Structure 1
Amino acid sequence: MEEKMHQSKDNKFIPMTSISSGKGREIRNDVFYYTNQIVNVIMIGDPAGDWVLIDAGMPKSGEEIVKVAEKRFGKGKKPVAIILTHGHFDHVGGLVHLINEWGVPVYAHPLEFLYLTGEKRYPEPDTSVEGGMLAKISSIYPIEPINISGVLRELPTDFTVPGLPEWKWIHVPGHSPGQVALFREKDKVLIAADAFVTVKQDSMYKVLVQKTEVQGPPVYLTTNWEMAEESVQKLEALKPDYAVTGHGSHMEGEELKQGLKHLADNFKEDGVPSHGKFVRDERKK
C-alpha cells in the first residue's frame, strides 16, 4: 500500500529571517519572486494568464505562498504546475499544503526522486565546514525526505519546462544531485536555484541584511564541490542578464556578469571552503 503523502518527519518552523522576508519583486512583467524568511519562491507567468510556481519555501510556508499567489494572480487561480529546483527543506517546506490546495503536478529531476518519495534522507548538514553562524547551527535543519509520490513527475528529457514553453531546464548538480536551473534565452533570465546565490548564506549578518554579492552554493549542504564548480561554469557561460537565486536579492546587468565570471574563474579559492567533511583534499589541484 502506497504511503500517504506527507512533509518530512522532521519538518518544523525554523526561526530565522531577513529584511527581505515578506517582500516580492517583479524583475520582468512575468517573472516575480517572493522572499519567504530567507529563501526565494518564484512565480513565472503573466498575472492575467497561466503561471508556474518554482519551489515551495521554508517549512510551514504553504498558506503564506497561497496568499501571495492570490494577490498576484487572483483568488482561485492555481498554477499549471510546480517545478522544484531541488528537494532541500527550504525549497519544499510548504509543498504538501500547496498540493492539497491546488492539486497540480510537481516536476523535478529524477536524481532528486529518492528525497521526494520518502525513500532517502539528505546527508546531515556539515556543521564542521568553514563558515559563519548559519553553518554552525545547520544541524537543526530538516533532512528527512518528503513524500509526494502521487503527484511527482520527471522533468521532460528534451529540457523543456512544463507550462513554460520559452524556458529550458539545466542540470546543475553539486549542491544536490538533481538540482536544476531554468533559463529563458530571449531576455537571458536565469533562475539559478542554489548553484550560486547572491548572499553569503553561511553568514547570519549578511543573510539578515541581505548584502548582495555573487557567492558559491550554501556550504553546509553542498556535498560535491567538483560538480558545484562545473555547474557555476555552465551557468556563467549563458551570460545571464538577470538572475534570481535561491537566497539573496536578484542581480542583473554587469554586476551580475562580472560577479559570476569572477566566481567561475576563482571557484576553488572563493567558492570552496577551506575545510569540511565534503571538501576533498584535491580542492586546490
Structure 2
Amino acid sequence: MANATPINRWSGGVVMEMQENRYLQQLANLNPIASVHEVLPDLVMLRTAIANVCLVGEPGRADWVLVDAGVHFFGGRIAETAEELFRRPPQAIVLTHGHFDHVGSLQELIERWDVPVYAHELELPYLTGQDNYVEPDPTVGGGLMARMSFLYPNEGIDLGDRVQALPADHSVPGMPGWQWVHTPGHTVGHVSLFREQDRALIAGDAFITTRQESALAVILQELDVHGPPAYFTPDWAAAWDSVQRLAALKPQYAVTGHGLPLAGAQLQQGLEKLAREFDTLAIPKHGRYVQ
C-alpha cells in the first residue's frame, strides 16, 4: 500500500518493511488465508491472513457495509469478494478499532470506493494522525505471535475527514437493526456490533475464537473462545467488563477479529465461561500492562 505508515520502530527500517510487504503480498494469493465463510445469509466473513473482515448485507442488494479492512495487500481480495456478492461498493466501512491488522487495506479500499468510514469517537485520534496506540508487549507469553509482537506497528493512521464518529444513538450507518456496543479494553474506542433480531454479534477483538498469541493456533485456526490478543491489550479491567457485557447479550452467532465463526451452545458456553474466569483464562500472568 503506497500510503502505508512507515514502520520506523522495526530494526532495519525500510528493509524490514519491504520484507513484510512481500510476505503479505504472497499471503494474499493463498486461498486458505483468504477463505470466505457464510455465517448468515446477510453476514459473510472473509479471512485476511491473520485477521477477519465482515461483509454485511444481502447478496445482490444495494445496501451493504464492510466491517474492518484486514491487513495490507488484501484490498483486492476484499473488493473481489464484494463484487461477487454485491456488484457495487458498500455504503460505508465501519471499524471495530484501528489496529494495523484491522485497517491495513483501508486506504486502498477508500480510494477504490470513495465511501465514509465510521468508528467510535474515542478511536478517532488514532485514525486522524493525532495519536499512536500503546506499543505491543512481547512479554505476555502464549507463543510465537506474542514473542514477535515487538515487530507489529502501533502507529495510528491519518484518514482526515474521511472518518467520522458513529452515531450517538448506537445505530450503525447502513446496517439497520444493528447496534454498536462500546467494548473498550483492547483499545479505548473499541466497538462490537450486535443485532437483537437473530442475536448476531461482530465482536472485533473484544474476544476472539483462536489463541492469537500462538502461531500454530493461528495457522490451524484452532477454535477457542479466548480473550483479546494479549500482546496488544493495555486495559485488562475494561476488557473483562466488555466480555461480561457481550456475554450478557447471549449471542447466537459470532464473528470475531481472529479465528473462525462460532454459534450456538459452544459460543454461549465458551463466552459465559470466559466472562466468569477472565482473570485466569485471559489476563496474562505477567506483562507491562498487567496490574
Give the structure-1-normalised TM-score. 0.93
Q: Deviations over 1:31-73 (max 9, x none)?
A: 0010010111100001111100000010222122111211221
2:91 corresponds to 1:80: yes
Instruction: Describe the shift of the 1:138–1:207 C-alpha distance in structure 2 as closer, same or farther (beyond 3 A).
Output: same
Contact 1:51 1:80 in 2 (8 A): yes
Give the 3-state SS of the residue equivalent to 1:181 in structure 2.
strand
Q: How does 1:236-275 map to 2 (within 5 A)?
A: 236-275=247-286
Structure 1 residue aligned with 2:83: 70
RMSD of equivalent CA atoms: 1.6
For 1:64, give the aligned amino acid.
Answer: R
Question: Is residue 61 from structure 1 mapped to residue 82 from structure 2 by the alignment?
Answer: no
Superposed displacement of residue 149, structure 1: 1.1
Query: For the residues of structure 2 that align with 1:189 and 1:267, how far apart are their CA atoms?
Result: 22
Could you tell me which residue of structure 2 aligns to residue 13 of structure 1? 21
**Aligned residues, how many?**
274
Query: Is contact 1:55-1:85 (8 Å) kept?
Result: yes
Cα pair distance change 1:19/1:71, threshold 3 Å: closer
Between the aligned partners of 2:4 and 2:157, the Cα distance in structure 1 is 5
Alignment-derived partner of residue 26 in structure 1: 38
Structure 1 regions of 5+ residues with no counterpart? 281-285
1:14-33, Cα deviation, whole Å (9 max, x unpaired): 84769841110111110001
| Number of the residue aligned with 2:181 | 170
**Worse overlay, 8-17 or 143-152:** 8-17
Bigger helix fraction:
2
> 2:242 matched to which residue of 1?
231
Query: Does the 8 Å CA contact 1:6/1:148 hold for their aligned counterparts?
Result: no
Residue 183 of structure 1 pairs with residue 194 of structure 2: yes
**1:186-201 equivalence runs, <5 A:** 186-201=197-212
| Superposition map of 1:92-107 within 5 A | 92-107=103-118
SS at match of 2:210: coil
Specify the SS of the correspondent of 2:287: coil
Of 51, 55, 58 in structure 2, the residue corresponding to residue 46 of structure 1 is: 58
CA contact (8 A) 2:124 2:164 kept: no
Structure 1 residue runs of 4 or more that deviate by more than 2 Å after TM superposition: 5-20
Q: Distance in 1 between matches of 2:274 and 2:123?
A: 26
Matched position secondary structure for 2:201 = strand
Counterpart Cα distance in 2 of 1:130 and 1:37:
22
| Cα distance between partner residues in 2 of 1:192 and 1:179 | 10
**Cα distance in 2, alignment partners of residues 167 and 23 from structure 1:** 25
Q: C-alpha distance in 2, partners of 1:14/1:224?
A: 33
| Unaligned runs of at least 5 residues, structure 2 | 8-16
Distance 1:14 1:189 in 2: 36
| Amino acid corresponding to residue 9 of structure 1 in structure 2 | P
Aligned-partner SS, 1:160:
coil
Higher RCO by CA contacts (8 Å cutoff, separation 6 or greater): 1
Structure 2 counterpart SS, 1:150: helix
d(CA) in 2 for partners of 1:274 and 1:114?
A: 30
